[in-house]
Structure 1
Amino acid sequence: MPISTPTGSPAAVGLLTGFSLEMTGRDVPALREAAPQIPRGTRINVTFLGHEDPALRLAAARAVREHGFVPVPHISARRLRSPGELEEFLSDLAEAGAAEQVLVVGGDPGAPEGPYEDSLAVIRTGMLQRHGVRGVGIGGYPEGHPAVDDDVLWSALVAKTAALREQGLEPTVITQFGFDTRPVLAWLAEARRRGVDAPVRIGVPGPAGARRLLGYARRFGVATSAGIVQKYGLSLTHLLGTAGPDRFLCDLAEGYDAGVHGPVLLHFYTFGGLGATAAWIREFGAHGAAS
Structure 2
Amino acid sequence: MSNALPSTVLERLLHGARYEVLPTATIAEKVLTHVPRTTTVTVTASPSKPLSTTLDMAEQFAAEGFDVVPHIAARMVSGRTELSEIVDRLRAAGITKVFVPAGDAADAAGDYTGAIDLLTDLHALDHPFTHIGITGYPESHPSIDDDVTIQSMWDKRKYATHVISNMTFDAEAVGKWSERMRRRGIALPIVVGVPGPVDPTKLLGMATKIGVGDSVRFLRKQRGVFARLAAPGFTSDRFVTRIAALAATPQLAIEGLHIYTFNQVEAIEAWRQKMIAEAQRR
TM-score computed with the length of structure 1 as normaliser: 0.80
> How far is 1:248 from its partner?
0.6
Deviations 1:38-84 (A, max 9, x none): 252x3211111123334432221122222322111111111223433
Secondary structure of 1:272's partner? Answer: coil
The RMSD of aligned alpha carbons is 2.8
More helix by share: 2
Query: Of 35, 39, 52, which residue of structure 1 is paired with 2:49?
Result: 52
Residues 109-135 of structure 1: CA deviation (Å, up to 9, x unaligned):
244231101101001114674232222
Question: Contact conserved, 2:165 with 2:191, CA < 8 A, in 1?
Answer: yes
Tell me how far apart the structure 2 counterparts of residues 129 and 270 of structure 1 sit (CA, whole Å): 32
**Among residues 161, 165, 169, which one is paired with 1:175 in the alignment?**
165
Partner of 1:79: 76
Higher mean displacement: 207-216 or 48-57 = 207-216
Is 1:249 aligned with 2:240? yes
Deviates more, 1:70-79 or 1:9-18: 9-18
8 A contact 1:178–1:223 mirrored in 2: no
**Match status 1:139 vs 2:129:** no
| Unaligned 5+ runs, structure 2 | 1-5, 208-217
Q: 1:141 to 1:212 in 2, by over 3 A?
A: farther
Question: Which residue in the other structure is 1:106 paired with?
Answer: 102
Distance 2:55 2:131 in 1: 18
Percent of aligned pairs with the same amino acid: 29
Question: Counterpart in 1 of 2:212?
Answer: none
Judged with a 3 Å threshold, the aligned counterparts in structure 2 of structure 1 residues 14 and 222 are, in CA distance, closer, same or farther, namely farther
Matches within 5 A, 1:1-291: 9-26=7-24, 27-35=27-35, 38=36, 40=38, 42-98=39-95, 100-126=96-122, 129-162=125-158, 164=159, 171-211=161-201, 219=221, 229-233=231-235, 245-291=236-282
Q: How far does the alpha carbon of each residue in 1:20-43 deviate from its partner, in whole angstroms, 9 at most, with x for none?
A: 1112333211111113xx252x32
Query: In structure 2, how many angstroms separate the alpha carbons of the residues matched to 1:54 and 1:177?
Result: 22
Please identify, of 47-56 and 171-180, the stretch whose mean Cα deviation from structure 2 is larger: 47-56
Aligned AA for 2:116? L
Q: 1:277 is aligned with what amino acid? A: I
Distance in 2 (alpha carbons) for counterparts of 1:97 and 1:107: 24
Aligned 8 A contact 1:173 1:198 in 2: yes
Q: Normalized against structure 2, the TM-score is what?
A: 0.82
Gaps (5+ residues) in structure 1? 1-7, 165-169, 234-244
d(CA) in 2 for partners of 1:192 and 1:228? Answer: 32
CA distance in structure 2 between the partners assigned to 1:221 and 1:265 by the alignment: 26
Whether the 8 Å contact between 1:217 and 1:224 is mirrored in structure 2 is: no
Distance of 1:210 and 1:220 partners within structure 2: 10
Distance of 1:227 and 1:44 partners within structure 2: 22
Partner of 2:163: helix, strand, or coil? strand
Matched positions, count: 263
